Amino acid sequence: MCMTLTSASWAPASTAASSAPEPPSTDASDGLCAIHQPNLFPRLSTLAKLFSADLWIVLDDVQFARRDYQHRARLAALDDPPRQQWLTLPTHLPHGRPTLISQARLVDTRRSRRTVQLLVRQYYGRSPHWGAVSEVLDALDESDRVADLARTSTIALLRVLGWSGKVRDSSEIPTRQGRSERLADLVAAAGSTHYLCGTGGLRYLDAGPFDVHGIPVLPFHTPVGNPLWRWARRSSSLWALSKIGTDALADQLAAQREAHHPGTRA
């Protein structure tokens, strides 16, 4: 199932299948694909990568990692960004360490929601752009699934910034088991023509499976020297939204999209 930002649908978790990938679709608007785990109020670097893509495949059926960003976000102080605090939501893993992201559950949904509301307001309530942040908070899902909360927080941020792409869950798409093979199969099954890969993924990615599908891998890099992007890989994008507002941040992300998207590059 593919969805637009105005939809809300949560697919059940499933393990990756060993069968061949689905035949690709022919929707040219999904040409540039990004694959990323659902992150709670994602970092600016992550948000920028997703904004640059036409399709976000939510990697929801891999192992949950407590040291990752599915259930936590680093909030930077509005006027002092080096001062940061973790917003961490207590999470229950029903199957222990092998628990998939889509299977992780909030320990206390109501308390977690209240923690998010209070702490985000504490950090960004003084911002002249609080209305946009509040809109993101209002969109949060009330499910007890960590993946739902993380996913909706990302979609809400993309929505207020004007992204018109699509979202699809990896758990819906049968793929091979190898790490790079699986990613390549996901992109091909979605009918995308290019894969946008962040610097972290580039460290381990094998381009061979993408070459078999005829899919170029495009590296994604954030700007260097711009103060706004100094904290892009550490702090939640809520800080950037609160600091410069919807229009200015949308312009920044649009510039990154233009720099990375194969349809706009010279």
In this structure, the number of other CB atoms found within 10 A of the CB of residue 27 comes to: 14
pLDDT of residue 24: 36
Q: Please, where are the H alpha helices in the chain?
A: 44-52, 109-124, 130-138, 146-160, 179-189, 199-202, 208-213, 237-260
Q: What is the C-alpha separation between 253 and 248, in angstroms, rounded?
A: 9
Q: What is the pLDDT of residue 30?
A: 76
Cβ pair 71, 91 in contact under 8 A = yes
Written as six digits, the tokens of 86 are 């973790």
Which residue numbers in the chain have pLDDT < 50? 1-28
Instruction: Reduce the DSSP state of residue 84 to 3 states and report it.
Output: strand
pLDDT of res. 265:
60
Q: How far apart are CA 108 and CA 128, in angstroms?
A: 32
For residue 239, what are its two tokens?
Answer: 């800080």
- Nearest partner of 262 among 34, 5, 59, 42, judged by Cα: 34
71 phi and psi angles, rounded to 5 deg: -115, 15
In this structure, the number of other CB atoms found within 10 A of the CB of residue 206 comes to 14
Provide the 10 A C-beta neighbour count for residue 110: 10
Q: What is the pLDDT of residue 77?
A: 98
Single out the residue of 116, 91, 113, 117 nearest to residue 104, CA to CA: 91
- What is d(CA 217, CA 199) in angstroms, rounded to the nearest whole number? 12
Give CA–CA dist 122/112, Å, rounded.
Answer: 15
Every domain of the chain and the residues it spans:
2-260
Residues 6+ apart with CB under 8 A from 172: 1, 11, 14
b/e burial code for range 139-148 (CB count within 10 A of at least 16 → b): bbbebbbbbb
